[in-house]
Amino acid sequence: MGAGRLITIEGIDGAGKTTLAGALAEALRARGVDVRLLREPGGVRIAERVRELVTDPGAAIGARAEALLYAAARSQLVEEALRPLLAQGRLVLLDRFVDSSLAYQGAGRELGMDAVRTINDFATGGLRPDRTLLLRIEPGRARARSASRGGDQDRLEREDEAFFQRIAGAYDALAAAEADRFAVLDGALTPEAVLAAALRAVGDLL
């Protein structure tokens, strides 16, 4: 692996991950940093096709199959994009990564985080982020944000309150267990304030 860095952004739906990812990428480029912004599931052709499937509200997908589909998309992204970019010394900014599966399938679907971690260790070859920005926000507020966007909700966005409470708790547990990797940001702040906090949190990696 070269001198590249992998920064991931995590949080429940409606926390502001995608907004932060775009703003952070733009801010880093303005500072002369060579940044590649990718998303999960997606980022490469095969993974984008998996994304269409797992977000389809009409698709009946079992919890284990869902976890395996996310891991498969992630494996392709790692092989086709992440490892080559990191080997070139690039900074990669990734909207979601393994922690999402630990929280959503491990806790939200109640498959167990250890089981989900095992399949993702295999899928990624053990690739770990250098820094993870966790946008923490109260689930009810995040769901209200998602609803205010309008349009149809995807499969996961249609889940109940208890599902998202389990996910939020899992993210907190993950951040506590790896405090050196996680930087917890207040997702209830303005986008400008969140961006400023994110820039401070990744400054030592630049």
**All structural domains of the chain with their residue ranges:** 5-205
CA dihedral 62, 66, 72, 78 (to 10 degrees): -170
Q: What does pTM read for this prediction? A: 0.93
At 1 the pLDDT is 43
At 195 the pLDDT is 98
Residue pLDDT, tens place only, 138-172: 988 877 776 676 666 677 777 888 999 999 999 99
Residue pLDDT, tens place only, 170-186: 999 999 999 999 999 99
As a whole number, mean pLDDT of residues 65-94 equals 97
Higher per-residue confidence, 140 vs 201: 201
Q: Is the pLDDT of residue 4 over 60?
A: yes
Question: Largest Cα–Cα distance of the chain, in whole Å?
Answer: 45
H helices present in the chain, as ranges: 17-30, 45-54, 63-77, 83-87, 98-101, 113-124, 139-148, 161-177, 191-202
Computed over every residue of the chain, the mean pLDDT equals 93
Question: Cα(27)–Cα(30) distance, rounded to whole angstroms?
Answer: 5
Residue 43 binned pLDDT confidence (cut-offs 50, 70, 90)? very high
Contact status, residue 74 vs residue 127, Cβ threshold 8 Å = no
As a whole number, mean pLDDT of residues 120-139 equals 97
Residue pLDDT, tens place only, 13-32: 989 999 999 999 999 999 99
At 152 the pLDDT is 65
- By percentage, how much of the chain surpasses pLDDT 70? 95
Question: Cα(46)–Cα(61) distance, rounded to whole angstroms?
Answer: 18
Higher per-residue confidence, 140 vs 203: 203
At 151 the pLDDT is 61
Architecture of the domain defined by 5-205: 3-Layer(aba) Sandwich (3.40)
Residues 6+ apart with CB under 8 A from 129: 6, 7, 8, 94, 97, 181
